[in-house]
Amino acid sequence: MTKPKNFWYHAMAFAVGIVWGVTFVSSKVLINAGMQPAEIMVLRFVLAYLCLLPFSTGRKGGRQLFAKSLKDELLLVLMGVTGGSLYFLLENSALVYTQASNVSILIATTPLWTMLASALFLRDGRVTLRTALFSLVSLAGVVIVVLNGQMVLHLHPLGDLLTLGAALVWVLYSLILKYFDGRYPVAMITRKVFFYGILTMLPYFIFEPWGTTWTMLAQPAVIGNLLFLGVLASFLGYLGWNIAQGRLGPVSMNLYLYLNPLATAIVAVPVLGEQFTWVSVLGTVLILGGMYLAMKE
């Protein structure tokens, strides 16, 4: 059973998994309003960075400007890339070349890749055959929820490879985050992720000029969704995720990514007019049941 002392960390991870699933719907609203995915990412990270600044004071708040060594600082840059700019570019570019269902399913393989990487590089003894099998049960639930009874998955090699690339860079983010356990305050690490995520995304706009206007930003739906993405999903989401992983580890944390497609499917019903059928309910049972049994000790 899950240890009682870790209950709040699991609750935090569950909440972030749900919120990050809703971000796909929120981002879709902003894209429909005329914003580019890269612009959405930069604006949400800027908001998150500004929200985090008041908490970046004192020793526990991570007030130091740079890491203790060049190696650590470069790893923080890499976290900004893998957890920010490159991840979002790969995921959003994939949507140009493949179906959204393919992206949702392939991104949901992240927990399995995390298990493999943790077993190989971290020698994590908690990665067992049981964990992997029940993780596959959750993945099957994801497939059912995403396809919603249609049972047709078309392969688009370039888009699918870009999606797998996004999944793998998030695994790398998780492993680097594990390396930083106890080395620096979580607030500092999270602040660096936002800063370097923004910085490494800026060259993109040399090739794709910034198109978001003040008129677009003045729309209530745009403001509301940007605040949701910047404050709740990024500021609180990344901070909560990084705190919880410090206690639960990358394998258990990334199992909560299985909640993303579920949350997306549920919120898409009232917002985008999509359907949630009995097939989706079956998928939900498999996702939650597989997650619980995979983490059960």
Q: Check whether 231 has a pLDDT greater than 90.
A: yes
Provide DSSP, 193-208: HHHHHHHHHTTHHHHS
> How far, in Å, CA of 116 to CA of 114, rounded?
5
Q: Residue 297's pLDDT is what?
A: 57
What Å distances lie between residue 45 and 3, 28, 119, 135, 234, CA to CA?
34, 17, 32, 31, 7
For residue range 161-219, what is the model confidence (pLDDT) as tens digits?
888 899 899 999 999 999 998 888 898 999 999 999 999 999 999 999 999 999 999 99
Q: What percent of the chain shows pLDDT beyond 90?
A: 37
If pLDDT is split at 50, 70 and 90, which confidence band does 71 have?
Answer: very high
Token pair of 186, please? 């979580």
Which of the residue ranges 134-148, 233-247, 264-278 would you say has the lowest mean pLDDT? Answer: 264-278
Q: What is the pLDDT of residue 1?
A: 40
Contact between residue 234 and residue 194 where contact means Cβ atoms under 8 Å apart: yes
- Cβ atoms of residues 222 and 105 within 8 Å: no
Q: Are 222 and 34 in contact (CB under 8 A)?
A: no
For the chain, domain boundaries: 4-295
Which amino acid is present at 284?
T
